[in-house]
Chain A
Amino acid sequence: DIQMTQSPSSLSASVGDRVTITCQASQDISNYLNWYQQKPGKAPKLLIYDASNLETGVPSRFSGSGSGTDFTFTISSLQPEDIATYYCQQYDNPALTFGGGTKVEIK
């Protein structure tokens, strides 16, 4: 199985800060990497698909990059409504897996 290592597990940043989350795959997954945002008590929301494509309706401050084994998710200017847990998800093999999550808080 492909393992996804997501870091950090939590971070605290100020409004307006640039926030970066990384996800590393245990083997090459091409660009088959997606990012979700989950707020407490809610289902996850797709933000980025295929590593770098912004889902329709998602603010442009969210972005993704990477390919192969190393991926990055960025919030260019953190907003109060971005407080959530973020998950990466790979689907290079049928045993689709998620990263462990990054909880983003406001400093």
Chain B
Amino acid sequence: QVQLQESGPGLVKPSETLSLTCTVSGGSISSYYWSWIRQPAGKGLEWIGRIYTSGSTNYNPSLKSRVTMSVDTSKNQFSLKLSSVTAADTAVYYCATRAVAGTEDWYFDLWGRGTLVTVSS
């Protein structure tokens, strides 16, 4: 059974770069679209972007200038970098996917448990 696990620093300083990794276990990372979604405390969900295992990406236009996603198939991991962070980037960050290989469905039936990232000096 495929599982996703987010990892990375829980505290990032303002103006620095937030870096998170999602590890895929129990299955292959290949032939799937992998997304990052975040949720500030007590607020709604915001899609950050997605990456296919070929490396092609789609980013939320509101975050595009600060987002970089990458995939490492040898480690079964994909990553998120968000630059120039501010307190507004404080949120729980989830990795998620549609767990059917080769489909470009834009919804998510497999999620990680989420990781809280706080932006503070």
A residues near B, CB below 8 A? Answer: 1, 32, 34, 36, 42-46, 49, 55, 87, 89, 91, 94-101
Contact = CB atoms under 8 A, between A and B. Distances in A.
Contacts, number: 47
A1 B61 contact: yes
Give the interface centre of A36, A94, A101 by most chain B CB atoms within 10 Å: A94
Contacts of A96: 47, 60, 106
A55 B109 CA distance: 9
16 contacts: A32-B106, A34-B107, A36-B108, A44-B45, A44-B108, A45-B111, A89-B45, A91-B107, A95-B47, A95-B60, A95-B61, A96-B106, A98-B46, A98-B47, A99-B44, A101-B44
A97 B96 CA distance: 14
